[in-house]
Amino acid sequence: MNQSDLLAGHEGLLIVLSGPSGTGKGTLVKEISKKNDNIKLSVSVTTRIPRKGETDGESYFFVSEREFIRMRDNNELIEWVEYCGNHYGTPKQFIFDTVKKGYDIILDIEVEGARNFKSIFPQSVMIFVVPPSMEELRKRILKRGTESAETIEERLKRSKEEYNYIDHYEYLVVNDNLDKAVDDISSIIKAEKFSIKRMKKLPDKMGTGGSL
Ligand code: ADP
Ligand code: 5GP
């Protein structure tokens, strides 16, 4: 039985958000999970140094390289990646426990990890978020003020490469106005709830007199 089969029957949605660094993914997933009690945020582990304002266990689980490798080798991560010199990974147990309880989970992960995640959980809803322009992206990273000039350039270079993965996604959202982007993503999630292909059991032939 594969990992995806283990979840079959009673799961919530797995919603994967990717896009260039600085687009606003972190801001969006926080807003969306805050507004909807049924959507839980997947908290990744990382070896990155915490930014000002980030809390351990909320933004990320901040761990040493040694601990990250231990978790990876102990099969505690669903997917992992090295991104601009740091390791990032999705803890497995939370995903299984939470989705089985019927909650939807939203993940903010980069493109390679997202592709691996989708191969394990093909039912995932894949959303690619982009900024309105490259200039705006640069402005947002600068405004965040958390990276050195060198890291910013590395992230911008990586951003351009990330667009090559767009075919692995089902939806594209432009994060220009934050409230609108939150609404757009919420609409996608809502529409997915009505998807016939996701329904394990179809309703009876209502209103057709059984002649459907
Ligand atoms: P990411 O998680 O994609 O790297 P963040 O969520 O950290 O991006 O956002 C980067 C910066 O852009 C933050 O300072 C955030 O407040 C800001 N931001 C996010 N969305 C918008 C938006 N729609 N308009 C303007 N600024 C935004
Ligand atoms: P940041 O350092 O800006 O918080 O994150 C850098 C990149 O790592 C972002 O694109 C973010 O989506 C991605 N990321 C965060 N957590 C994970 C994870 O668990 N797995 C993968 N593959 N990417 C992650």
* Distinct helix (H) and strand (E) counts, the chain: 8, 9
Taking the centre of ligand 1 as the mean of its atom positions, its distance from the CA of residue 135, in whole angstroms, is 13
Residues in the chain with pLDDT < 70?
1-10, 201-203, 205-212
> 30 in ligand 1 pocket by Cβ < 6 Å?
no
d(CA 212, CA 189): 28
Residue type, 21: S
Taking the centre of ligand 1 as the mean of its atom positions, its distance from the CA of residue 76, in whole angstroms, is 30
What is the per-residue DSSP string for 26-59?
A: HHHHHHHHHH-TTEEEPPPEE-SPPPTT--BTTT
Q: What is the reported pLDDT for 210?
A: 55
User: Residue whose CA is closest, atom 20 of ligand 1?
Assistant: 24
> 21 in ligand 1 pocket by Cβ < 6 Å?
yes
Pocket test for ligand 1, best of 31, 133, 144, 156 (most atoms within 8 A of CB): 144
Taking the centre of ligand 1 as the mean of its atom positions, its distance from the CA of residue 88, in whole angstroms, is 20
Q: What is the reported pLDDT for 207?
A: 63
Pocket test for ligand 2, best of 110, 119, 148, 151 (most atoms within 8 A of CB): 110
Residues forming a β-bridge with 105 = 14, 40
Tokens of 74: 């102990």
Residue among 19, 17, 23 at smallest CA distance from 137:
23
CA of 177, closest atom in ligand 1: 23
Which CATH superfamily, name and number, covers 5-199?
P-loop containing nucleotide triphosphate hydrolases (3.40.50.300)
User: Residue whose CA is closest, atom 11 of ligand 1?
Assistant: 140
Q: Which residues line ligand 2 (CB under 6 A)?
A: 21, 25, 44, 48, 79, 81, 83, 88-90, 108-110, 113
Q: What is the reported pLDDT for 198?
A: 82
Q: What is the reported pLDDT for 89?
A: 98
Residue where the block lists tokens 């989708």: 118
User: Residue whose CA is closest, atom 13 of ligand 1?
Assistant: 144
User: Residue whose CA is closest, atom 27 of ligand 1?
Assistant: 24
Residue ranges covered by each domain of the chain: 5-199
User: Residue whose CA is closest, atom 5 of ligand 1?
Assistant: 24
**Beta carbons within 8 Å of 154's beta carbon, 6+ residues apart:** 84, 85
Q: What is the reported pLDDT for 11?
A: 75
Tokens of 209: 């007199």
Query: Pairing state of beta strands 14-18 and 104-108?
Result: parallel
